Structure 1
Amino acid sequence: MKEQVHIFWFRRDLRLTDNCGLFHALSSEKKVLPIFIFDEDILTKLASKNDSRVSFIHQELENMNRHLLTFGSGIAVYHGKPVKVFEELSEKYAIDTVFTNHDYEPYAMQRDQEIKDFLRIKNISFKTYKDQVLFERNEIVKKDGTAYKVYTPYSKKWIEAFQHRGIDFFPSEELLGQCLKTDLLPFLSLAAIGFHPSSIRVASYEVSSGLIDSYDETRNFPALDSTSKLGTHLRFGTVSVRKMIDKASKSDSITFLKELIWREFFMQILWHYPQTTKDSFKPQYDRILWRNNEEEFKRWCEGTTGYPLVDAGMRELNQTGFMHNRVRMLVGSFLCKHLLIDWRLGEAYFAEKLHDFELSSNVGNWQWVAGCGVDAAPYFRIFNPITQVEKFDKDLKYIQKWVPDFQELTYPTPIVDHKLARERCLSTYKTAINGE
């Protein structure tokens, strides 16, 4: 007779501590089988077979598996289409309930519905929990129930709700003895899923009290390297967002906490407006006649535009999978406004390269710099790539690190004149927005 079990399905929550869905699974009377699925529908879309994010996920699974082995358990790791994996699992085990945590991206919601429909046929329950944000979906909305489209009032309402409700933690780490005891779980190697270890490592995060307290003064200067590198770890759930919010809220400076609120703001925007992954939030901006010059896009990607701060950011991205946030705004604005290249092309390139790529934030921030999103920078705000150096890298330390050739004869001349580009952008945007 097959053993009755619950399943916990890890996705964007690769940790054993303070994991909401895992806590609820382990709190029941039945043993829990932890699983992870390398989804072939996601992996086949990746441009490289040594994608550092896949290496990072696999490494984190190994770490978790090693810890679970001390309880005589482990994580079953599969590769394939999730519904096929659950068909296989339902043949092997008498599954009572599948537990997991919410995912708000359009593909994930469609996938989860497919899994839920399959499990219903098998009389298996499917329970999901809020874990990657403090407030989700329509928990922070206007009095009339509609979504906030501007960050500042959203953040005020978020902070009010946080102060009123506080934070509940879920000590899943105390219940790991409830995991299924077995030594027969499949644990696939990277090679078995068709990938190779990446030479680019995901940076570890640092969220010290000192970093949080000084964040407002230091965050805009890329040479200081004083950002937390937390984004990737929030993206894959290797750290608890509740613990990060709790820590940030204890500082006299609110700036770091506000960055975490921006993340939740963009997540609720994506949930309310899933069409924004492809369409501009402001429809009139989809009338812009983008130039989309292929050679100029290539030079932007390579970091050879002839504007040192833009090039430094792109080279940092290509070599490390990270780019400083201040520089992200500049390179995004430069692509859309100086080169008149569609924000969707930049968004796709960042999605391919950034370790901390998160669909909601990536789309939200690209639409912000292009002027077409919620709470966006007005279209006539065009970052000057020369004065940005004077403001944020006046000693040229960041530029010298990533563009050591910037003073050499071989360094390219600027791809476009700033004044000309600005006038061209204003004219093109104005025509589209006014429907001329």
Structure 2
Amino acid sequence: MTAQPITLVWFRRDLRLFDNTALQTAIRRGLPVAGVFVFAPAEEAALARNGRRLGFIYDSVAALQAALSAKNVPLYVLHGHAENEIPQLAATLAAEAVVCAESYEPQGREETNAVSRALDRSGRALVQVDDFAVLPKAAVMTHTGRPYLVYTPYKTAWLQTYAQRFGTWAPADNWHDLAALQTRLPESARRAPPLPDPAALGIGPDERTTLFAGGEEAAQAQLGRFLNHIGCYRLERDFPAKSGTARLSPYIAHGMLSPRHLVYLARQHDSEGASAWLGELIWREFFQQVLYHHPNAARESFRPEYRNLAWPGKAEWFERWKNGQTGYPIIDAAMRCLAGSGWLHNRLRMLAAGFLVKDLLTDPRLGEAWFAEQLIDYDLAANNGGWQWAAGTGCDAQPYFRIFNPVLQSQKFDPDGRFIRRHVPELAHLGKDVIHAPWLAKESIRTHGYPPPIVNHGEQRLRALALFKQPEKAV
């Protein structure tokens, strides 16, 4: 007797039920559905120094398994290489096809191709769908059919294309049909194994609780909190001591929120704050399509004239930057916050990145890799795009000659020193007139071992300008 065929949904960075394109595509195929998520050894190696992120993903997968179970959909959570685990499970469950969201990242695309080839050898299909971006890949192109390399015209074209494609939007979730399909799911497919033990994945007992609770329900709760003050977003988002940002990035990065729903909500709110937030969502789309069309940007400067710069920064400077010991309070507060929580305010990401590149004259790829190790909300396109923007090496980047003064930035965006005091306790006793630059105090002050600046900003600024001008002279 031939086994009842099913459709297998391969969950990746779409750990949710609401408006999940892969899941709804599987339902429309008209066969019972099972799900699978794979903890890959290669990914664990990359996350070895960030158990918090892996713990966040683990908790989110556990929440997804419970939510799917409530709809009689088993989620198989496996540990191994996707190119081996997915085809083997598909054969065991008699899956006719595997449906997954397409990856834009070079490594993810290679993994997808490997799974596709393995499935093809057994007569099964891999069906890829667009889910991670609202307007994916080549949906927004110039009139000559090329990808946009500058954000502002991309945003204009994006908004026009969105209006043409979506008009009014609503999720196409079809739970009625799913309930009917699952009555035909073979009994043998219902018994998904329990989640792998966290210790087997390298997750320590103290790494399950983070600044962000895992799972779709927690994501929706945070989204609700943000929508309550979205009108203030434009005015408050640049001040790290305030709760002015959305704090949704971990949930967006791992797919616990639908990007289509977020854009819909931003457009529904008639406020300057919502408009500014929509702009940030479009920046995310911009970086995603840049990486898709230019995967080499993940390894080298987008602009070729900066690929061979001889960075003179010292290894000691890089280590002190990582450890929050540069002597510049706002930079050190940012880096300690990152190390302590796995998250960092966007304004501080820009400041810390610009300081490493323009003041410490260090290869931005080193800083990008450090952020990748630390961030719970790590996303290759966003991280790479942000670093190339700050370094001036990207396609639409801050000009190399625009160099942040860390003291002035500190005075502007942390005027009372609240954020600095929170993360640099050695300086918590200092007043706001001194805390931004203790070495400039008119009187002797106690800094409890806090170091003086490792470089002089004015001098390093001139060195940075000279360094970046070299390629121009050669042209």
Matched, 1:201 2:210: yes
The offset of 1:172, in angstroms, is 5.0
1:329 and 1:369 in contact (8 A); partners too: yes
The aligned counterpart of 2:148 is 148
Q: Could you report, residue by residue, the CA deviation over 1:158-199 in whole angstroms, capped at 9, with x for unpaired residues?
A: 111122222352315555524446542122221233432415
The separation in 2 between residues aligned to 1:331 and 1:175, in whole angstroms, is: 50
Q: Could you report, residue by residue, the CA deviation over 1:44-69 in whole angstroms, capped at 9, with x for unpaired residues?
A: 23233x61121112111221222333
The aligned counterpart of 2:474 is 435
The offset of 1:216, in angstroms, is 0.8
Letter in 2 for 1:18: D
Q: Aligned with 2:307: secondary structure?
A: helix
The separation in 2 between residues aligned to 1:303 and 1:172, in whole angstroms, is: 50
The offset of 1:103, in angstroms, is 1.0
The aligned counterpart of 1:357 is 378
Deviates more, 1:242-251 or 1:262-271: 242-251
Q: Percent identity?
A: 35
Q: Structure 2, unaligned stretches of length 5 or more?
A: 214-221, 431-446
Letter in 1 for 2:463: R
The aligned counterpart of 1:287 is 308
The separation in 2 between residues aligned to 1:358 and 1:11, in whole angstroms, is: 13
The separation in 1 between residues aligned to 2:48 and 2:123, in whole angstroms, is: 38
The aligned counterpart of 2:86 is 86
The aligned counterpart of 2:13 is 12
Letter in 2 for 1:432: P
The aligned counterpart of 1:171 is 173
Q: Aligned with 2:95: secondary structure?
A: strand
Structure 1 residues 113 and 293: CA distance shift in structure 2, 3 A: same
The aligned counterpart of 1:399 is 420
Letter in 1 for 2:353: G
Structure 1 residues 173 and 237: CA distance shift in structure 2, 3 A: farther
Find the partner of 1:264 among 279, 285, 288: 285
Deviates more, 1:60-69 or 1:172-181: 172-181
Q: Aligned with 2:6: secondary structure?
A: strand
Q: Aligned with 2:261: secondary structure?
A: helix
TM-score of the pair, normalised by structure 1: 0.95
The separation in 2 between residues aligned to 1:22 and 1:200, in whole angstroms, is: 29
Find the partner of 2:237 among 219, 222, 238: 219
| C-alpha RMSD of matched pairs (Å) | 1.7
Deviates more, 1:415-424 or 1:82-91: 82-91
The separation in 2 between residues aligned to 1:139 and 1:364, in whole angstroms, is: 19
Q: Aligned with 1:98: secondary structure?
A: strand
The aligned runs of 1:297-336 (5 Å cut-off) are 297-336=318-357
2:240 and 2:419 in contact (8 A); partners too: yes
The offset of 1:371, in angstroms, is 0.5
The aligned counterpart of 1:296 is 317
Find the partner of 1:373 among 394, 401, 420: 394
The offset of 1:92, in angstroms, is 1.4
Q: Aligned with 1:405: secondary structure?
A: helix
Q: Aligned with 1:24: secondary structure?
A: helix
Deviates more, 1:15-24 or 1:406-415: 406-415
Structure 1 residues 211 and 435: CA distance shift in structure 2, 3 A: farther
The aligned counterpart of 2:191 is 184
Aligned pair count reads: 435
TM-score of the pair, normalised by structure 2: 0.88
The separation in 2 between residues aligned to 1:292 and 1:338, in whole angstroms, is: 9
The separation in 2 between residues aligned to 1:351 and 1:14, in whole angstroms, is: 20
The separation in 2 between residues aligned to 1:104 and 1:68, in whole angstroms, is: 26
Q: Structure 1, unaligned stretches of length 5 or more?
A: none
The separation in 1 between residues aligned to 2:405 and 2:290, in whole angstroms, is: 29
1:200 and 1:319 in contact (8 A); partners too: no
The separation in 1 between residues aligned to 2:449 and 2:29, in whole angstroms, is: 66
Ranges of 4+ aligned residues in structure 1 off by more than 6 Å: none
